[in-house]
Amino acid sequence: MTTKRMPGLHELTRRTLLQTIFARGTAERERIMEEPEVPGRFRLSSLKFLPDSVLLQIVPVLREGWTARLCDDGVAYRIQDGGSGLVHLPPECRMAVALFDGKRTLEQVTQVLLGDQSLPTNGAWLAVREAFLGLVAQEVYHPAAPPKLCGGSIGGTR
């Protein structure tokens, strides 16, 4: 049995090159269209660009198999394989993390902090936002579900 070798792009004529690029693009597009849509896949790094109205609806959850605890400097976490780390957070952010229970939205956490009245109105949301995004950046926490934007979910890949 012989194997047909695909020529490198530098070995093709202009016409053949364009046909090859089109064929590869079409094949990739067909492959993507045949994949089942997997809800909940999006880039965690894109969360910081979402409007506050969307972020407020997110329920933060601890990454599966990880443990986390509050400490004097922030949040100490342990990874399933035994690794560990620390996310440094200021005191007002640690207050917010203490309320991340996997059930409350970021808006509900903000409301609880406002009830404490130790933070100004804007300061409570800023503390919650900073705590959540800081923990997301280290992949310790993530949204329980894809963020809702304009009636749909944000798509993409992790």
94 in the same domain as 31 = no
SS3 153: strand
Domain that holds residue 122: 44-153
Over 60: is that where the pLDDT of 35 sits? no
* pLDDT for position 80: 86
Interval 114-141: pLDDT, tens: 987 677 777 899 999 999 999 999 999 9
Interval 41-85: pLDDT, tens: 567 888 899 999 999 999 999 999 999 999 999 999 999 888 899
58 in the same domain as 22 = no
* pLDDT for position 122: 79
Q: 């976490």: which residue's tokens?
A: 77
Distance in angstroms (rounded) separating the CA atoms of residues 45 and 136: 8
94 in the same domain as 131 = yes
How many distinct structural domains can be found in the chain? 2
